[in-house]
Structure 1
Amino acid sequence: MLKKNTTLQSLCLLLLAMISVQSSASLAKSLFALFPVLSVSALRLFLGFSLLALFFKIWTVHVHKIRWKTIISYGAALAGMNALFYLALQRLPLGITVSFEFVGPLSVALFHAKTRFDFVWVILAIFGLVLMFPFQDLHRSLDFMGVALALGAGACWAIYILSGQKSSGISGQHTVCLGMMIGSCILMPIALATGMPNQVLSIPYLFYFLLLAILASALPFSLEMVALRHLSPLSFGTLMSLEPVLAAFSGIIFLSEHLLWTQWLALVMIMIASLGCTYTTHQAKQRIERQLQENQTS
């Protein structure tokens, strides 16, 4: 019963993290009209790190216990995922950007698939992602550079998933915090070199960046780190197929990016794939646990 509750709590935390990220994407896209994209991305990570450093008391970490190889790979993945996603978002609609980016976690899910049902759910999610593209509205041409950037963000997302499951020698919260520190150390010099306006530190823009840091970095990354500890790569990777769904709704609500009927069909297929993966993975775990119990009693 305790394990079931832990899994359910992890799923709820992951869903909350996705809602937070996709809602914040609309805020970020509105800031692109005022500030360079890399400035937005760098400040998002830096302010997120600063908030978590204070909240989780980063100075209490035992430095000798830190596995820096894991932290650096995790932080570099965060930097690439954030910067490339925002650069792609500048060129593509939110739902389309997330659909391309999803190739990363979907690849992780496919790699860890073991049963025929697992492949069915992954393939169903792929078909849903294909239907996300506006084939019936050809005048909405896709920016190929934006597609490449989104795919690059997806690759970083896959690395983020895998590195987040490795032991860092410290707590999950401190891992997120140090990872964001590494990510901001990578992005901040680039943002400063390409021209970060002083206006980012003025009111009310500083408030907007703080809100973005909370919704897009500090809150979701912390929740995902906790969820990763209790979910398999297959469950996490396929459940993240809800990201395009939430992104599409966020685009409708905040950015007036309306969907075609084929894209609504895609949303249904993606949600079915996510629910199916959750169910079959849970059933597989139960069968393994029953077999272990039978072996112990025999």
Structure 2
Amino acid sequence: MNSSGVASRRTAPRVPATAYFGVGAIFHYLGPAFAVLLFARVDVLGVAWLRIVSAAVVFAVWRKPWRLVRQLTPEQRWVLCWLGVVLAAMNAAFYLAIALLPLATVGAIEFLGTIVLAAVGVRNGRNVIALVLAVGGVVVLTDIRFAGAPLGFVLAFANCALFMLYVVLSHRVANSGPSGIDQLGAAMLIAAVVTAPLCFYAAPAFTSPVTLLAGIGVGICSSVIPYVTDQLAMARLRRATFALMLSILPAVATVIGIVVLTQVPSIQELAGIALIVAGVSVHQQPRETKEK
């Protein structure tokens, strides 16, 4: 094991899992908020490519994730491949969505899939209430803006489905075999290969050092800090607990949207986001997913 792996093991127990989650929650939307500002200089898909590739380079230099391939079972390798594909598609869909809709709206819709999955796994009154609240919140949000940006909502719902897959796959990675962070780095390298054709959309960044550095910063803020802290949190929290804590993310997205992008939500939008937050808070994960 390399020295950074030893250090992370020694440090992790001293830091509460909730602290890792809190840091990840902030950067989960702070990075995309910076990305929205970058859309004026680089195409949306180009920014998504810069995010993925810069994160992949950081993981490659820091963790050298290709060294763990021999340690993985064929099943674990398939999980990594799927996680890489999901990361690529999720990042592209998310950025395309926030180019058309407010960050808070996309951030709220992102969590509908988690509630739907829980409702399918545990058919009880609690999850029915959670699903009704969340669907009600989404209806309120879509009623406001659907006529103006239907494609934005298609992309937001696609991101929602992909985010659900990300949570499931990354939780498996965090609790199986070698270091979850090393496996995450390998998945990010796969995502970089999958998105290679998008490099042409990032052409303006290649002639502007400032723009290129901004794109790299977006990648570190969006795909290194939050994903690493997610892994550190998920390795020490039951999936049900982690899913419950996710309920604060739509609120974080709203605050960051206001502060960084001056996207001030209306009362109706706040009501829709509040309903989704309530649904995420109420829902109950399937019993078998509660074990680490």
| Cα distance in 2, alignment partners of residues 156 and 268 from structure 1 | 22
1:196 is paired with a residue whose SS is: helix
Matched-pair contact (CA < 8 Å) for 1:105–1:238: no
Q: Amino acid of the residue matched to residue 144 of structure 1? A: P
2:5: which partner in 1? none
5 Å-filtered alignment, 1:1-298, equals 9-58=16-65, 60-65=67-72, 67-113=76-122, 115-133=124-142, 135=144, 141-167=147-173, 169-189=177-197, 191-192=198-199, 194-197=200-203, 199-200=205-206, 202-276=208-282
| Cα distance in 2, alignment partners of residues 120 and 13 from structure 1 | 30
- Taking structure 1 as reference, are residues 110 and 238 closer, same or farther at Cα in structure 2, changes over 3 Å only? farther
Post-superposition shift, 1:219? 0.9
Q: Amino acid of the residue matched to residue 36 of structure 1? A: D
Post-superposition shift, 1:60? 4.2
Q: Which structure has the larger Rg?
A: 1
Post-superposition shift, 1:232? 4.2
Post-superposition shift, 1:267? 4.2
Gaps in structure 1 of 5+ consecutive residues? 289-298
1:108 is paired with a residue whose SS is: helix
Q: Amino acid of the residue matched to residue 261 of structure 1? A: I
Q: TM-score, normalised by structure 2?
A: 0.80
1:294: which partner in 2? none
Q: Amino acid of the residue matched to residue 111 of structure 1? A: V
| Cα distance in 2, alignment partners of residues 125 and 239 from structure 1 | 16
2:172 is paired with a residue whose SS is: coil
Post-superposition shift, 1:212? 0.8
2:202 is paired with a residue whose SS is: coil
| Cα distance in 2, alignment partners of residues 33 and 176 from structure 1 | 30
Post-superposition shift, 1:45? 1.0
Post-superposition shift, 1:43? 1.4
Root mean square deviation of aligned Cα = 3.1
- Give the stretch that moved more between structures: 168-177 or 20-29: 168-177
Q: Amino acid of the residue matched to residue 106 of structure 1? A: I
Cα deviations by residue, 1:79-103 (Å, 9 ceiling, x for unpaired): 1110011111111121222233333
Q: Amino acid of the residue matched to residue 184 of structure 1? A: A
Post-superposition shift, 1:234? 4.1
- Taking structure 1 as reference, are residues 256 and 133 closer, same or farther at Cα in structure 2, changes over 3 Å only? farther
Post-superposition shift, 1:211? 1.4
- Taking structure 1 as reference, are residues 33 and 217 closer, same or farther at Cα in structure 2, changes over 3 Å only? same
Q: Amino acid of the residue matched to residue 247 of structure 1? A: A
Matched-pair contact (CA < 8 Å) for 1:74–1:179: yes
Q: Amino acid of the residue matched to residue 152 of structure 1? A: A
1:20 is paired with a residue whose SS is: helix
